[in-house]
Structure formats: C-alpha cells, structure tokens
Structure 1
Amino acid sequence: MPVLLLLSCLAGAVRAQQQAPAYMPATGDASVDRRLADINEYASRYPAAFADEMGRYYAVPRAYVEAMQQQPDWTAGDIFMACALAQIVGQPCRAVVREWSRDHEGGWKAVAARLQAEPGNPQYRRLRSAIDASYARWGRPAPAGEK
C-alpha cells in the first residue's frame, strides 16, 4: 500500500509539472530568455545567494528581493530582469517592478522598450553584460544551447 501511495504522489507531481506553463519572459532575445529561465532554477536552489547578488550588485535591499521571491506572480528571472534593467536605465528597481506590474502584455521586450532599452541598443547590451557578470560571479555555466 505505501508503494502505491508513493507512485500516486509521483504521478500527480509529474502531471502538475507537465501542466505548469513554461516560463516565457519574452525579452525579444532568446539568449536572455534562456538565462532568465536558468536564473529561476539557480534561485530555487540558492535563494540566499540570489538575494545577495541582487543586493550587492544591483543595489536592491535584500528584504525587498526576499519579499518579491514570495510573490506568486514573480519569478527570480523577472526579479533579476527588473532590477538589472532598472540599474541600466538609472531607475530604482521598484519603478521597473511597478512598470512590469502595470502592463506586461508584451513581455519584458515591451517593458524594456518603454524604458528606451529595447534589444539591440547600448543599454540592452549593458544588460546582457550584467547577466554575464552575474553568471561569472556564480561560477555558473551558460544554459544549454549557448556558447
């Protein structure tokens, strides 16, 4: 009987995982999308290290990051994107969080465009460099499919 219960629980977990929508940040840059999805995985394993990174390098209070991590509508990838984008455009993270919360119909690409940091421009290149720097500090390899 315990084996059947365990198998039933495992089957339920697999179904829930299959039904969960895939994370789609829609940045307009497939490489950034993959990295934000990978940041979700990293932060799920190392939430304190993720919060430290955001505080130390993106000037976001650790308590704010931890509170955002508890919000069901926010992923670590979204938190990272909001705060890194904010730093690049010279705004506080909370301002970009509000902008995303107000309207994110077009994904992060649309939010970045409203902040004059759309893919291809110098600010967006700085964003990509910031992501690379975080990966280097974490000693984390690029997600599969990247150089």
Structure 2
Amino acid sequence: MHTIRHATLAVALAIGLGLPAASNAQTVGYNVRTGDVWVDNRLGEINDYGRRYRDPFVNEMTGYYGAPRPLVVELLDERRWAPGDVYYACAIAHALGMPCMDVVREYDRDPGQGWGAVAKRMGIKPGSPAFHALKRGTASTYDRWGYPVVVDRPVRVDWSKHGPDKRARTAGRSDAHPAPHTNSRRADRPGQDKGKGKGKNKGKDKDD
C-alpha cells in the first residue's frame, strides 16, 4: 500500500507539473472561427508567433499589411488583442483596400461571433476570390517568416523550432523592401508541387 501510495503521488505530481507546460503550448485561446480549417490552424500558429517574436510580427503588420504601428501596438498592449486577431484584421483590411481600423471597429461590434461572421459582413465569404486571396496572403507571410507553406495543404508549424528569418526581422524598416511572394502562385493550386523534389517547400510541408 505504501508503494502504491507513493506511485500515485508521483503520477499526480508529474501531471501537476505538466499542466503549466501544456497551457503555455496552447496557441488558440480566442474565437477564430473563420469558416476554414486551414486558416484557423494558421491563425493559431500566427498567434503563437506573435507572442514569441513580437518585433518581427509588428513589422509584418506595418511593412506588408500597411497597418499603422501605433494601432498595432495599441491592440496588442492596451487592448490585449491576440496577435492572431490583429493579423486577421489587418489581412482583411489589406484585401479590401481599407484602413485596418475599419475592420477593428467591425470586429468590436460583436467579437463573440468570430472572424467568419465579420468577414461575411464585409463581403468576404469562404470560397470566394477574396477569401482565397487572404489565404495566399497568409502563405506569403509564412514565406517571409522563413517557413513556406502551401495553401490547403495540412501542416503544423512549431515556432519554437522555426524562428523568424532576416526578412521578418527587417520588414517594415525604412531601408527594407517587401520580399517577392515566391509561393503565392503555387499556393493557388494545392498539391500541384507534389512529387517535385525541388524548391523551397521540399521536406517542409509535412507535419512536424
């Protein structure tokens, strides 16, 4: 009985110590619900990226999506927006050619509905050309962050293993220029590069 009791305590202690680690590893703690599983998964990873690598994340929002830096900082620091939410607001605004603040106001009307409802109200429906443009934009962001992905191809990116590359660190600076969207055309047609042994995507589209 004494041995069993000690074993039980050891298991309980291990579980107790493991809970904080599991909590820290969780990347989706907000209401994504874009209506597309691939996008939902990417937003969870973008959320994790933004928490780990704040400066490259802010640079991406300002340098490539045209969001004002004070707005991005306000959303992250004062309003406690998740990085994934900041990204998607800026991405929608960029796709529609409007200020990011307009999308922020629309989201604030009813944040509990999730991003899918917000996008529909603004004229972007799942499967529409605008929605596919959003997905290609996400792939381009990953490319700049040093981990190319293909639209609609299953993948898991662990940003604790894959940090930002030089382009992500310099994006948004006055002397930096946007990198070419090298994989956006390929991302339009999922699976077309399957079987090809060349290119940047080789060996990186499989689950980690």
Q: Normalized against structure 1, the TM-score is what? A: 0.82
Kindly indicate whether the alpha-carbon contact (under 8 Å) linking 2:139 and 2:148 is maintained by their aligned counterparts in 1: no
The answer to whether structure 1 residue 144 and structure 2 residue 156 are counterparts is yes
**For 1:35-54, what aligned pairs fall within 5 Å after superposition?**
35-54=42-61
1:57 maps to a residue whose letter is Y
Q: Distance in 2 between matches of 1:118 and 1:95?
A: 18
Q: Identify the residue that residue 109 of structure 1 maps to in structure 2.
A: 116
**Backbone CA RMSD of aligned residues:** 2.7
Given the alignment, which residue of 104, 112, 120 partners 2:127?
A: 120
Change (3 A) 1:16 1:132: closer
Going from structure 1 to structure 2, the CA distance change for 1:100 and 1:116 (only over 3 Å counts) comes to same
Local SS of the residue matching 2:29: coil
Q: Which residue of 2 aligns with 1:132?
A: 139
Given that residues 31 and 112 in structure 2 are in contact (C-alpha distance below 8 angstroms), is that contact kept between their aligned partners in structure 1?
Answer: no
1:68 correspondence with 2:80: no
Moved more, 22-31 or 117-126: 22-31
Question: Does the aligned pair in 1 maintain the 2:75–2:81 contact within 8 Å?
Answer: yes
Query: Is this contact kept in 2: 1:104–1:110, CA < 8 A?
Result: no
Number of residue pairs matched by the alignment:
138
**TM-score (ref. length: structure 2):** 0.59
Cα offset, 1:144, TM superposition: 1.5
User: Partners of 1:69 and 1:98 in 2: how far apart?
Assistant: 15
Give the SS at the match of 2:51.
helix
Separation in structure 1 between the aligned mates of residue 131 and residue 31 of structure 2, nearest angstrom: 18
**Who is 2:20 aligned against?**
14
Q: Structure 2: which 5+ runs fail to align? A: 1-12, 150-154, 158-204
Cα distance in 2 for partners of 1:72, 1:44 equals 15
Structure 1 equivalent of residue 4 of structure 2 = none
Could you list the per-position Cα deviations for residues 13-62 of structure 1 after superposition, in whole angstroms to 9, with x for gaps in the alignment?
Answer: 729939x8833300000110110110111111110000000001111122
More helix by share: 1
Deviating runs (4+, > 3 A) in structure 1?
10-13, 20-24
Indicate conservation of the 8 Å contact 2:90/2:100, yes or no. yes
- Larger Rg, first or second structure (1 or 2): 2
Identity value in percent: 41
Whole-angstrom distance in 1 between the partners of 2:137 and 2:86: 14
Separation of aligned partners in 2, 1:57 and 1:63 = 15
1:27 partnered with 2:39: no
State the Cα distance separating 1:78 from its structure 2 match. 0.4
Distance 1:38 1:16 in 2: 15
Letter in 2 for 1:14: P
- What is the deviation of 1:12? 9.8
How many Å apart are 1:93 and its aligned residue?
A: 0.3
Q: Match of 2:76, as an amino acid?
A: Q
